[in-house]
Every structure is written in C-alpha cells, then in structure tokens.
Amino acid sequence: MESLSFQIKVPGSTANLGPGFDSIGMAVSRYLELQVHTADRWLFSSHSKDLAGIRTDESNLVAEVAKHTGKELGITIPPCHVEMTSNIPLARGLGSSAAAIVAGIELGCYFYEKPVSPSYKVRLASLWEGHPDNVAASVYGGIVIGTHSDESTHVLPIEAPELDLVFLIPEEEVMTKKARSVLPSELSFPEAVKAGSVGNVLTAAILTGNWKVAGEMMGKDLYHQPYRKHLIPLLDKVLSFAADKKEIYGAALSGAGPTILCITKKGRGSSVATMIGEAFEGMEIDILTPAKQGVQLVTNSNR
C-alpha cells in the first residue's frame, strides 16, 4: 500500500461560559497539530511540553478514537506514525482531551471514501466525551450551543465573535472527573428554574452580541461554579475583580478549571492582562482570541 501523509490541526476550546454548562463552547487560538503517515504499526511522538508522557502506541487516545471511528464507518484504519505538537495545556480547562478526540475522528474519517459531515463528527465526539461543548467547538470553530443524549446530538454553530480572551492559567491541574464529583446530584425545582433563566439570558446575549450582559450572566452561574470554587480558591476573587472593572465584560471558569477566563473587547486584551497580572501575581496569563476555524485537514498525497 502506498504511504499516505496528511496534517490535522484542531483548536482548543473553553466551555460553559458560566451557566452554559455542558452546552456552550468556544474554540480558542491554541492548537493540537498532527503530522500523520501510514505505517506498519502505531507510533506517537511529540516534543511539546504539554504532551509530555503521552502514550506512544495504539493505546493513545487519538488512535483509539480513530479505530472506533473506522468501526462506525465500516472501514479499517491502517496503523500510522503520528507526530504531535500542542500548546493546549493538559487538565487546565482548555479542551485538550476534546481536541485529541476530534483529531482521532478526523484521522479516521480521512480513510473513508465519502465526505463525513461536521454534524456526524460532533455526534461521534459527543458520544465519546459525554457532552458536546468542547468537541463541537473544536469541530466547527467559533461558538457552539448544543444538547446531547444517547439518542441524539443537536448543535448550533455561531460565527466567532470579535473579542479578546484573557486566561489565568494556574500551575496545578484539576482533573475533570474530580471537578464533576463535587457537583450536586440534583437541584430543587426553584433552583433549576433560576439557574435555567440565567443560562437563557446568557444564550440570548451571545446571539445578539451583547457581551456586557453575557459577561454578567457568566458570573451568576448556579450549575457548577458555586460547587467548584473550593477546588479553585482564586475563582471568587477573580469573579469579584472582573465585576468591578468596566474593561472586563465578565469572567468564568474555563471548562472544569482551574483556568479562569476573562472576556474583553477586541484590542483590550493586553491592558486587561496587565491589570490582572498586577492584581494576581505569579499566574500564567495568556491572551487568546476565538478561533474562527474548526478542525482542518491538509493532505500531502493522493489517496
């Protein structure tokens, strides 16, 4: 069989934006990139510090997802050598596992003879991940709003907004499993109604481009942030700081944390980052933008 080679580029993501829990995601300008070559066995390599310690054989998440995708499509995925680079930090709430899942699906779909729709890729990814927010953002780019169940997945992609995103990235990791373990098993009916109304206003504000209101709703989440704040002691302080600064639309945990997202007007990222750095010393601060494009495939040879 002729050796085939291609590249895959997947954006990271931030999820929830406060009350959009497990539903709203935004692609961001950090990336997982794969150089893929067909080979006689699976082999993964990387020189990126954010991928230190990855599995180098077919037990790598990307390979597992690719092989599963092949089964779903009724094809066999050949072994590949995969060189990976990434600047998406692991277990920091920036969609590293979702990016790997989307990369695996894209790798598997490459070997299918027919085009595979983004909605089908999102369905496969959501079944693997359990929710659509991060994976759909990495597939489509921009902002996504979705719902997922065992029976179906529905996602609406929205064009990337013109914003600056300022992230406070702590050194410590917070594993998603641990962050989910502190969530309540149920909410009372009045609590659910109140939480849902905040989420509804967040959605309406995003759709109408009213980021001042969206930012306010981000800080009023009742689904997950109140229960996770003891895992991220800085959260309450940053939410209060953001609420007092007119330059910042709003702040929220990025995914399960510990990274915290602050949203500001396009062009204000540097000044907001300086302001945050002076208030919270010793934190890694990164200025990103919403990624307009989702997963990209570049081929180097004919199939």
> Residue 248 maps to which CATH number?
3.30.70.890
Banded pLDDT at 302 (limits 50, 70, 90): low
Annotated binding site: which residue ranges?
Answer: 89-99
How far apart are alpha carbons 60 and 40 in whole angstroms? Answer: 16
**pTM for this predicted structure:** 0.94
Banded pLDDT at 281 (limits 50, 70, 90): confident
150 shares a domain with 98: yes
Pull the structure tokens for residue 254: 């990025």
How far apart are alpha carbons 266 and 185 in whole angstroms? Answer: 39
Domain span including residue 199: 163-288
Of 253, 198, 202, 262, nearest in space to 224 by CA: 253
91 shares a domain with 45: yes
73 shares a domain with 16: yes
Q: What is the pLDDT of residue 230?
A: 87
Beta bridge partners of 32: 10, 86
137 shares a domain with 103: yes
User: What is the identity of the amino acid at 204?
Assistant: A
Pull the structure tokens for residue 97: 């596992």
Q: What pLDDT, in 10s, does the model give residues 44-61?
A: 999 888 887 888 899 999
202 shares a domain with 116: no
Q: What pLDDT, in 10s, does the model give residues 7-40?
A: 999 999 999 999 999 999 999 999 999 999 999 9
Q: What is the pLDDT of residue 83?
A: 96
147 shares a domain with 295: yes
Q: What is the pLDDT of residue 303?
A: 57
What value does the mean pLDDT of the chain take?
A: 94
How far apart are alpha carbons 191 and 216 in whole angstroms? Answer: 19
Of 112, 47, 36, 46, nearest in space to 80 by CA: 36
169 shares a domain with 88: no
How far apart are alpha carbons 258 and 92 in whole angstroms? Answer: 6
pLDDT-above-70 percentage for the chain: 98
Q: What pLDDT, in 10s, does the model give residues 77-97?
A: 999 999 999 999 887 889 999
Task: Tell me the average pLDDT across 104-117.
Answer: 96
Task: Tell me the average pLDDT across 221-227.
Answer: 95
Residue 49 in contact with residue 79, Cβ under 8 Å? no
Q: Inform me whether the pLDDT recorded for 111 exceeds 90.
A: yes
137 shares a domain with 30: yes
Q: What pLDDT, in 10s, does the model give residues 131-169?
A: 999 999 999 999 999 999 999 999 999 999 999 999 998
Annotated binding site for ATP: which residue ranges?
Answer: 89-99
Pull the structure tokens for residue 100: 């790997």
3-class SS shares of the chain: helix, strand, coil, % to 5? 35, 25, 40
- The DSSP-derived string for 240-301 is HHHHT-TTEEEEEE-TTSS-EEEEEETT-HHHHHHHHHHHSTT-EEEEE-B-S---EEEESS
Q: What is the pLDDT of residue 175?
A: 75
Q: What pLDDT, in 10s, does the model give residues 171-209?
A: 777 777 888 899 999 999 999 999 999 999 999 999 999
Task: Tell me the average pLDDT across 285-299.
Answer: 96
Q: What is the pLDDT of residue 18?
A: 97
Block residue for tokens 């208030």: 279
Omega of the bond leading into 118 within 30 degrees of 0 (cis): no
Q: What is the pLDDT of residue 301?
A: 60
E-strand stretches of the chain: 5-15, 24-38, 43-46, 80-86, 143-148, 153-158, 163-169, 248-253, 260-265, 284-288, 296-299
184 shares a domain with 144: no
126 shares a domain with 171: no
238 shares a domain with 127: no
CATH number of the domain encompassing residue 16: 3.30.230.10
Pull the structure tokens for residue 116: 């595979």
268 shares a domain with 230: yes
Number of separate domains in the chain: 2
Tell me how crowded residue 297 is: count the other CB atoms within 10 A of its CB. Answer: 14
